[in-house]
Amino acid sequence: MSYKTLYRTYRPQNFYDVVGQEHITRTFKNALLKNKVSHAYLFTGPRGTGKTSIAKIIAKAVNCEKAPTSEPCNVCKSCISINSGFDNDVFEIDAASNNGVDEIREIRDKVKYAPSMGRFKVYIIDEVHMLSTGAFNALLKTLEEPPKHVIFILATTEPHKIPATIISRCQRFDFKSISIKDIIYRIKHVVKEENIKIEDRAIITIAKNAQGGMRDALSLLDQAISFSDDVVTEENVHEITGTVSEEKLYTIVESVVSNNTHQVIEYIDVLISSGKEPLRLLENLIYYYRDLFLIKKMNIIDEQLVMYHSEDTKTLAKDLNEKNISQIISILNNAQYEMRKTNYPRVFIELAIFEIVSLNKNKIEIEKAQILQIKKNIDFEEVKVDIKQENVVNEKPVEVKTNHDNVEAKYIDINDIEEVLNNGNKEKKLNLMLQWNSIYGSDISFTNIKQILIDGTIEAVSKSNKIILSYEVESICARLYESDIFTKATEILEEVFHEKFTIIALPKRIWNEKKEEFTEQYRNKVKQPKLTPITEPILVKKNNNKYEFEPELVKEAISLFGEDIVKITN
């Protein structure tokens, strides 16, 4: 007799042996004991969770000599004959190979005959999702009202492929993936029975790698036993699965965090030359980062969800920032995708590492820039205070000189925006919006300025006739502030609407920020919301009055070649 793999030898023979499916075994034990077994069941769930096993146990239990009983005895004639797989009343049908109407008809024709030995004929139809549509429909009637002595058990991994009419005729049981704890428990049992020496950590690693399938776990154990010399070690398991242990992953990520590129590359080199596959390594890294993310995000760590959760990992997670991790994962993901297509998986791993490290560096630079920006703001506020004291500017946008000769920075006064937002007038806004296009009018002069006005979106209008316009394109917004254009634009508005308006133009981006800030405060019931000042200046070109006097031709030329090239001569 040849060797039988562990997962076949240790197929559960009674409900007690089934792990991880208490909700199902309990239902069946009670149903069997009370003689309330239904005529059709549908078992669904991922691979290796016990669908076929439980089906067989039920077949034994209903036919057992001791029935009604909650567990098959496994010693009576009937049980033994079913265990051997040659019983006349239990039919295990492989629906994938027998998926035609003809095969189902054959079942239908034979169900009516009474069982030869036991009380019930049990049809276990495995991989039932592979039946053809015709076959499913041929089964419907039989499944709904079979003779008293028949039980159908359908098992599948892909319930979405089963027609609704079949599902509604069966009692459906969803099998859960088996938890790591349960797998460990079962492996320990097997190891004890088989007299195998194995490290506890090895068992845990096997359980994690099985991803919820008991069969996968036992297969792995089988392989590990064959691979190991005497005692099955954790390293043995890692070698079979090609995975990388948590400590090693920690070392890599730790060096990445501390920007030690050199060390990371060397370390990866060592791993690859010791036989780890680059693709697997990358996959493990992605999972490691994913777990770091989860640990960071959730305070309570559910060992079911997280594969890596040693103390080192947890401390590492605290140091990282969430946004950064998700960026890193997407970099690794891209690398993984690219890797499948080429012959140089290593190049991609290395590239990914460099990218991640440079991400860290960029982050530092961005932080520096932010600090500088804040510093600048502080300076600016001081300047503003000075100006106010001297009463030079009142309520008007404050102008601060920049380094550029031709450009001046325009800072928009947040008080203006606050005022508009707090004293908004919906009617006026609606009116303006409806008539906005009439700015064009019949007069063809200053079309460029009119165009700038029309390009803006009216965001808000105050009672005191202040308009907030937002611009997708910041350069257009800046042009509106050029002094000549600004005055002309105000004039045009007065001409068209017969009222005086003050224009406040903003880039869309800034407007959105401010709007959000405002609504946030408004929602929190702040009566007169105060907004933070706008720190970003709008860069406006100085002394540019040529637009006003351009004839159409020149304008056309500028739009074609750009203003740098076009020169106007007499």
Partner 1 sequence: MSLDNLVKLQPKVLKILINSYKKDRLAHAYLFEGEKGTNKKEVAIEFAKVLYCEGTDKPCDNCINCLRIEHNNHPNVLIIEPENNSIKKEQVIYLQKEYSKTTLEPGPKIYIIEEIDKMSNNASNSILKFIEEPQPNTYTILTTDNLHQILPTIISRCQVLNFQPLLKSQIVDFLLENNIELDIAKIVSQLTNDLSRALEIANGEEIVNVVKLVIDIMRAILSKNENPLIIIEDSQVDIVNNKKLLELFLDVSLIYQRDVEHVKNKIEEIVFINESSFIKKYIDNIDMDKIISNIDHIIKAKINLDYNAYSISLIDTLFINLI
Shortest CB 462 distance to partner 1, Å = 49
Alpha-carbon distance of 335 to 361, in angstroms, equals 20
CA distances from 150 to 38, 54, 147, 298 (A): 10, 17, 6, 50
Nearer to partner 1 by C-beta: 102 or 552? 102
Interaction site with partner 1 (CB under 8 A): 1-5, 8, 46-48, 85, 94, 96-97, 99, 126-127, 130, 157, 213, 215-216, 219, 222-223, 225-227, 239-242, 261-262, 265-266, 269, 273, 275, 277, 338, 341-344, 347, 350-351, 354-355, 358
Alpha-carbon distance of 142 to 166, in angstroms, equals 11
Residue 51 DSSP SS3: helix
Nearer to partner 1 by C-beta: 213 or 537? 213
Shortest CB 508 distance to partner 1, Å = 32
Nearer to partner 1 by C-beta: 58 or 335? 335
| Residues 6 or more apart whose Cβ sits within 8 Å of residue 469 | 453, 456, 457, 458, 459, 477, 480, 503, 504, 505, 506
Alpha helices (runs of H) in 391-507, residue ranges in sequence order? 414-422, 426-435, 447-455, 474-480, 483-497
Nearer to partner 1 by C-beta: 338 or 416? 338
Residues 470, 456 contacting (CB under 8 angstroms): yes
Nearer to partner 1 by C-beta: 239 or 474? 239
Shortest CB 262 distance to partner 1, Å = 5
Nearer to partner 1 by C-beta: 99 or 462? 99
Shortest CB 121 distance to partner 1, Å = 20
Shortest CB 132 distance to partner 1, Å = 10
Nearer to partner 1 by C-beta: 266 or 516? 266
Structure tokens at 543: 């002394």
Nearer to partner 1 by C-beta: 211 or 544? 211
C-alpha dihedral sign at 223, 225, 230, 233: positive
Nearer to partner 1 by C-beta: 131 or 478? 131
Nearer to partner 1 by C-beta: 126 or 234? 126
CA distances from 491 to 116, 500, 551 (A): 103, 8, 20
Shortest CB 250 distance to partner 1, Å = 22
Shortest CB 162 distance to partner 1, Å = 14
Backbone angles phi, psi at 119, to 5 degrees: -90, -30
Shortest CB 222 distance to partner 1, Å = 6
Shortest CB 78 distance to partner 1, Å = 20
User: DSSP assignment, residue 412?
Assistant: P
Structure tokens at 31: 């149903």
Supply the angle between the helices 447-455 and 483-497 in degrees, to the nearest 10: 80
Q: Is the link from the previous residue into 507 a cis peptide, with omega within 30 of 0?
A: no
Shortest CB 364 distance to partner 1, Å = 15
- Quote the strand ranges of 437-479, DSSP E: 457-461, 466-471
Residues 344, 308 contacting (CB under 8 angstroms): no
User: DSSP assignment, residue 372?
Assistant: H
Alpha-carbon distance of 139 to 325, in angstroms, equals 52
Cα angle: 187, vertex 189, 190; to 5 degrees: 65
Shortest CB 255 distance to partner 1, Å = 13
- CA 47 from chain centre, in angstroms, equals 24
Residues 54, 18 contacting (CB under 8 angstroms): yes
Shortest CB 93 distance to partner 1, Å = 9
- Quote the strand ranges of 325-456, DSSP E: 398-401, 407-411
CA distances from 302 to 175, 276, 315 (A): 21, 29, 16
